[in-house]
Amino acid sequence: MGSQNGRNTPGDESFRDLIEWLPAVIYEAGIGVDGDWYYMSPFAEKLLGYPPQAMIADPTLYYERLHPDDRQEVIELERTELEMARREDVTMVSEYRMLHRDGHIVWVRDEARIVRPPDRAPYWRGVLVDITETREAERALAESHDRYRTLVHSLPVCAYESDPREPARRQFLSPQIRQLLGYTLQEWDADPELWQKSLHANDRSKVLRDEERHVTMAIGTPWVSEYRLLSRTGEVVWVRDRAVVAEHPEGHRVIDGILTDVTAERGEAEGANGKRDVLRLTCSSCGAVHAAEHAGPCVECGSGDVDAVSLNATLAELTAARKQVEMLLDGVHQHLETVSGKSERPQQTSSAPALDRRIVTRPSFGS
């Protein structure tokens, strides 16, 4: 950030007294790599390990402390920013890595704009803020997100969101739907009627009616049901649908749920010998719950709108899911360990996000 007629005058003393208490580096510097630094507030020593006097005495020191992977980009970025700043009054914002005197990486947010005094050459006036902790937290969260996404994608369930107001009704959020019914996520997105087409003819009206009724319930209301779907090849697939009423970001209610393939459990329960499983029957009309060996009308009110869930199949599914739950808990534990250790300094050789560059137009408050 270049020279300014050889002057090294930091400016007004009262202004200096004010900014020396700020937890950020306030600076005034000329333009270009070889330019002079006219002022740098005391926080520079905490940020980079060098007192401001050392940075001002050696204008190249600041650029030497730029992370090697970001140095050239920062230099090129300053040239681009300079050209734009000469055309219009804007504040330039960028985020990049520097190396502290002891070698650890420091992420900084650099906001600056060109000052054009009538009696001096233009120079930069800006502020450097330490955002290392924020960057490390973002990295930890990103790693956790990737780990959880891999874990969720490995679970033998299909996550979905259902909005009865939309023609497509269901939006599948996990690729396991292809294993379940043979259709890809792209095919579900492309055909709004595919969900209704996949519902077994004997279950279609009830499933759609239940969705419309459930979505009007209080947020947080859960339920479980079992019904049949048809795969791409026409095979019957029994699914257990566990869902809950949720609130969409736009304010209306939707249904969030997961589908589990219980075809095998259904077959084992009904068996070749004709012996049926015990069913948990829940009446959608009066709310009565009772057990029976066969699905049938509600014993309380006679309504045929009854959800039948296999109890034996539920127990089998819970047993099979135990290991998946343990994996999730392990993931949560690892995430907590990662976040709690985010204050540890990263090594210089560790990977980091690419240089973040933004140009933000800000109002001018005078030079």
| CATH number for 243 | 3.30.450.20
Answer whether 93's CB lies under 8 Å from 85's CB.
no
d(CA 296, CA 214): 21
State yes or no: pLDDT of 55 exceeds 60. yes
**Together in a domain, 152 and 125:** no
Answer whether 136's CB lies under 8 Å from 342's CB.
yes
**Together in a domain, 147 and 286:** yes
d(CA 61, CA 112): 19
Q: Which of 4-8, 102-106, 248-252, 313-317 has the lowest mean pLDDT?
A: 4-8
> Does any domain span residue 308?
yes
pLDDT at 332: 57
Q: Read off the pTM.
A: 0.43
**Together in a domain, 95 and 156:** no
**Together in a domain, 114 and 216:** no
Measure the CA angle with vertex 280, ends 274 and 285; round to 5°: 125
Q: Please write the tens of the pLDDT for every residue from 167-206.
A: 667 887 778 888 899 999 899 888 988 999 999 999 999 9
**Together in a domain, 100 and 179:** no
The SS3 call for residue 310 is strand
State yes or no: pLDDT of 9 exceeds 70. no
Q: Which of 104, 87, 105, 88 is nearest to 96 (CA)?
A: 105
**Cα dihedral 60, 61, 63, 69 in deg (nearest 10):** 140
Q: Please write the tens of the pLDDT for every residue from 79-117.
A: 887 787 777 777 888 999 999 999 999 999 999 888 888
State yes or no: pLDDT of 14 exceeds 50. yes
Domain boundary among 130, 149, 173: 130
The mean pLDDT of 35-47, rounded to a whole number, is 91
pLDDT at 323: 55
**Together in a domain, 124 and 144:** no
pLDDT at 283: 82
Q: Which domain holds residue 266?
A: 140-340
d(CA 179, CA 156): 9
> Does any domain span residue 366?
no
pLDDT at 314: 66
> Does any domain span residue 106?
yes
Q: Which of 153-157, 196-200, 209-213, 295-299 has the lowest mean pLDDT?
A: 153-157
**Overall number of domains in the chain:** 2
The mean pLDDT of 207-229, rounded to a whole number, is 89
Helical residues (DSSP H) of 273-347, grouped into ranges: 311-340
State yes or no: pLDDT of 273 exceeds 70. no
State yes or no: pLDDT of 360 exceeds 50. no
The mean pLDDT of 12-21, rounded to a whole number, is 68
Helical residues (DSSP H) of the chain, grouped into ranges: 13-19, 43-48, 52-57, 61-64, 68-87, 132-154, 176-181, 185-190, 194-198, 204-214, 263-270, 311-340
Q: Which of 97-101, 106-110, 265-269, 320-324 has the lowest mean pLDDT?
A: 320-324
Per-residue confidence band for 10, with pLDDT thresholds at 50, 70 and 90? very low
**Together in a domain, 79 and 172:** no
pLDDT at 344: 46
> Does any domain span residue 7?
no
Q: Which of 67-76, 271-280, 310-319 has the lowest mean pLDDT?
A: 271-280
Residue 21 CA from chain centroid, whole number: 35
Burial class of residue 238, CB neighbours in 10 A (0-12, 13-18, 19+): buried
**Together in a domain, 260 and 334:** yes
State yes or no: pLDDT of 271 exceeds 70. no
Percent of the chain topping pLDDT 70: 71
Average pLDDT of the chain, as a whole number: 77
State yes or no: pLDDT of 122 exceeds 90. no
Higher pLDDT, 151 or 39: 39
State yes or no: pLDDT of 351 exceeds 50. no
State yes or no: pLDDT of 241 exceeds 50. yes
Kindly state the tokens that stand for 57. 């005495």
